[in-house]
């Protein structure tokens, strides 16, 4: 007997579909990670090649590059489905739309957010980040990229039907990302300076939980408005 799927049927089906589409377009999926890595090589050229200088700026630089890399993948969260008409089927489904949006957020994080977390140690080594900063960096980015995917879903839903929506999406999403950027960089910096980063990490975890709770209904409402218009 086939074991029961631990996820709700529509949730699991849409989640698997988005992962399958990401595998078919693997070149697009790796673009954020390539940007993340390439931007890290430019930081020493823009600042200074001395390890001490790079280590001092590494926490903020890594988080800023991760934020910009995450923006690259947001435009495709709903845009491809909107273009081929499948988004209308998702919206008109009898299943709760917020649950289907949550499935797309999780799939987006797995494809775009988790690779950034996995690439962060390499970028940290390139920028001479002290070893004590790696654990809060990885944990903070795990929380932070989940928040970025959730917030980005709201922005992507608002701009899905807009011409040149990618630029508008960046203008909407960037201000929302500021708390994540501030506390994420602070956690790494505190660890490097010998302080306890648990407070900043706790805030990042709370923000991720909050955004993953509020963003799916907000994005679902924005999708309905965009398609009705």
SS (HEC) of the chain = CCCCCCCCHHHHHHHHHHHHHHHHCHHHHCHHHHHHHHHHHHHHHHCCCCHHHHHHHHHHHHHHHHHHHHHHCCCCCCHHHHHHCHHHHHHCCCCCHHHHHHHHHHHHHHHHHHHHHHHHHHHHHHCCCCHHHHHHHHHHHHHHHHHHHHHHHHHHHHCCCCCCHHHHHHHHHHHHHHHHHHHHHHHHHHHHCCCCCHHHHHHHHHHHHHHHHHHHHHHHHHHHHHHHC
pLDDT score for 215: 94
Residues 207, 147 contacting (CB under 8 angstroms) = yes
| CA neighbours closer than 13 Å in the CB half-sphere of residue 217 | 4
Report the sign of the C-alpha dihedral through residues 122, 123, 127, 132, in that order. Answer: negative
Asked if residue 187 lies in contact with residue 140, where contact means CB atoms within 8 angstroms, the answer is: yes
The per-residue pLDDT for 57 is: 84
Yes or no: say if 118 and 180 are a contact pair by the CB < 8 Å rule: no
* C-alpha dihedral, 168 to 170 to 173 to 177, nearest 10°: -160
* Structural domain spans, the chain: 9-228
Q: Are 201 and 140 in contact (CB under 8 A)?
A: yes
- Does the pTM surpass 0.95? The reply is no
Consecutive 10-residue runs of the chain (229 residues): their mean pLDDT?
A: 54 85 77 85 74 83 88 79 83 87 92 90 89 94 93 88 71 85 94 93 95 94 82
Query: What is the C-alpha to C-alpha distance for residues 145 and 74, in angstroms, rounded to an integer?
Result: 12
Cβ-contact 55, 134 below 8 angstroms? no
Distance, CA of 182 to CA of 177 (rounded, Å): 9
pLDDT value of position 2: 46
Q: What pLDDT is attached to residue 198? A: 94
Whether residue 216 contacts residue 101, with contact meaning beta carbons closer than 8 Å, is answered with: yes
Give which of 7, 27, 4 is closest to 17, Cα–Cα: 7
């Amino acid at each position: 007997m086939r074991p029961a799927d631990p996820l709700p049927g529509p949730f699991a089906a849409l989640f698997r579909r988005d992962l399958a589409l990401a595998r078919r377009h693997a070149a697009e999926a790796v673009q954020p990670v390539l940007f993340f890595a390439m931007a890290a090589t430019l930081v020493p050229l823009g600042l200074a090649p001395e390890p001490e200088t790079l280590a001092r700026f590494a926490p903020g630089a890594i988080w800023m590059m991760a934020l910009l890399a995450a923006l690259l993948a947001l435009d495709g969260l709903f845009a491809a489905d909107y273009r081929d008409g499948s988004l209308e089927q998702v919206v008109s489904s009898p299943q709760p739309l917020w649950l289907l949006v949550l499935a797309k957020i999780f799939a987006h994080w797995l494809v775009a957010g988790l690779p950034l977390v996995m690439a962060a140690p390499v970028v940290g080594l390139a920028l001479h980040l002290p070893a004590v900063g790696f654990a809060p960096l990885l944990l903070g980015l795990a929380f932070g990229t989940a928040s970025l995917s959730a917030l980005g879903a709201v922005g992507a839903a608002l701009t899905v039907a807009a011409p040149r929506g990618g630029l508008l999406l960046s203008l909407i999403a960037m201000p929302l990302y500021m708390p994540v950027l501030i506390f994420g960089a602070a956690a790494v910096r505190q660890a490097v300076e010998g302080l306890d980063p648990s407070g900043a990490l706790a805030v990042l975890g709370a923000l991720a939980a909050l955004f993953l709770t509020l963003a799916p209904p907000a994005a679902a409402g924005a999708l309905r408005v965009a398609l009705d218009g």
